[in-house]
Structure formats: C-alpha cells, structure tokens
Amino acid sequence: MHPVLFHIGSLVIPSYGATAALGVLLALMLALYTARKIAIDPNKIWNLCIIALFAALASSRLLLVIANWTVLRHHPLWMLSLAMIHHPLLAAIGTLFALAVATIYARVNDLPFRATADVLAAPAALGLAFEQIGALLAGSGYGTGALVPWAITYTDPLAARWSGAPLGIPVHPVQAYAALCLLAIAVALVLWLPHRRQNGDLAGIFLMATGIVLFITEFWRDPIGRGALFNGIVKGPQVAGIVLVVTGAILLLERDSQRIAIASARVDTAPSASSQIERPTHG
C-alpha cells in the first residue's frame, strides 16, 4: 500500500496521519450537527472534543517517550519519528486519558453525560472508520495471511519499518473490513438519531456494535503485539470488545429518568365555525 501520502521537499506526509486528521475534521463537523439535533451547546461539544483529542495525543506520545527514553536521550532527533509508530496499547492509553479529560470537562460545564455520549457516538464511529483507512494505507494492524482474491500485499519498506507489516505476503485487508463496518455504524446512528427513546441509546448502540466489530475483526488480524490472553484464546483487543458490549448493554437498559419526552399532538380547542351558534341581537 502507500504509507507515505506525498512529499513536500524533504518533509514526509504519512498516509496514516493525514487520513486520521481528515477523519477528525469530519467527526468534529458531524458532532456539531448531532449536538444541535440533541439540543446541547455545540460550542461546549467542540471544546470537549478538542481537549479530549489533545489529551489522547499527548498521553500516547508521552508514553512512547518514556518507553524509549534511553534511546532518545542519545538520539533526540529520533523523537520526530515517534509520530509514525502505531500500536493497540497506545490507542488504549490515549482513549482512557481522553475519556477521563472529557468526563471532567463535562462535569465542570454541566453537560449531561448520557446525552453528550449520544452526541459523540456517530462522530466517534466516523473518526474510527477513517483511522482504519489510514491504518490500511500504512500497514498498521495488518491482517493474517490470505489467499482470497481481495487480499493485499505490502511492498513499501516504510510499511515494515513504521508498522512492522510483512512485505510480499498477501494478507487480509482487515482494516478495510473494520472501516466499512464502522462507517455503516456511523450512518445508522445518524439515521436513528430522531428515533432514540432515552438518553444513552445511541451511545449504547455504538459501544455494542463497535465491540462486536472489534471482537470479530481480530480473528483476521496478525496476533503479533496484540496481547494474547488466557493461553491465546483471546487477544487484548477482543477483551476490550467484550467490555464495550457489556457497557453498551448497560446504557441501553430502560431508565424512566432518561426517557425523552415525546411532544404530544396539539389539540385545537377553539370552536369551529360550524359549531358556533349565532345569537339574535336585540335592538
């Protein structure tokens, strides 16, 4: 595939970073739309997203610096190449920090938790879909060997250097599988937006659907670096998928306090012209 999107002189623009950035921009635009539909201040949603993104990026890069400090101390310029490194653990750490910061911001600014989660459900699915497209181009989270007609083969040495992708071996385009599923989830959530019965419905559907996609697609991802657990029965991301499904199911439980009131049809109580009785006037 194409781990480098293009060059500007000696400056390299990686496909993963550019595609993920595009996904973030589209997700932010969608978040403003869903915020208006759910009647939550779009400005607060925008600020929450920006702060959460900064927390995710800063925490994941800081973890890389700490883990590679011995090497970076002798070769400080190598710090510039940290942006090319992608790993499930980095994504998990970044997500946890982003959730923590977003929760604090929501509490301070009196944003309702469940309704805010509904606002961010479809944008999150859209952003993750583009992230997986970037991973497909870069070779990050590559698939297992495959003989299917739609298998892909990485040939660029940068894909092996940055993401550890195998060269010259047909593999499942598992990132494309995940991207298509996540894009379908985003579209479904937007369509379901007017029909939600209680706050938390969209967030619950997003978590359950994303957890299922994460669990299933892991069967086609190469296990190296995925954290095999329970004697290799499941991988680390699959355990995370199970947690997402359970959390989503909890959010979908019926709660009268979170039910969205449906405006009843207005009944015109004014008397009609046919029902009015004209009374005679007396001079």
Residue with tokens 């015109």: 268
Residue 83 to residue 181: CA distance in whole angstroms: 26
Spell out a b/e string for 120-154, using b for 16 or more CB atoms within 10 Å of the CB, else e: bbbbbbbbbbbbbbbbbbbbbbbbeebeeeeebeb
What are the residue ranges spanned by the domains of the chain?
A: 4-258
- Is the Cβ–Cβ distance between 192 and 166 less than 8 Å? no
Determine contact, residues 55/98, Cβ cutoff 8 Å.
Answer: yes
* Max Cα distance, the chain (Å): 110
Q: Which of 152, 148, 130 is nearest to 139 (CA)?
A: 152
Quick one: pLDDT at residue 206? 96
Supply the pLDDT for residue 281.
47
Tokens of 97: 């920090």
DSSP, collapsed to helix, strand or coil, labels residue 175 as helix
pLDDT tens digit at each of 283 positions of the chain: 777 777 677 667 788 888 888 999 999 999 999 999 999 999 999 999 999 998 888 887 777 667 666 655 665 555 555 555 566 666 777 888 888 999 999 999 999 999 999 999 999 999 999 999 988 998 888 899 999 999 999 998 888 877 788 898 999 999 999 999 999 999 999 999 998 889 999 999 999 999 999 999 999 998 776 777 777 678 888 888 999 999 999 999 888 777 876 543 333 444 444 444 444 444 4
Q: Tell me the two tokens of residue 96.
A: 């946890």
pTM of the entire predicted model: 0.82
How far, in Å, are 81, 154, 156, 184, 220 from residue 161 at the CA level?
A: 11, 12, 9, 32, 21
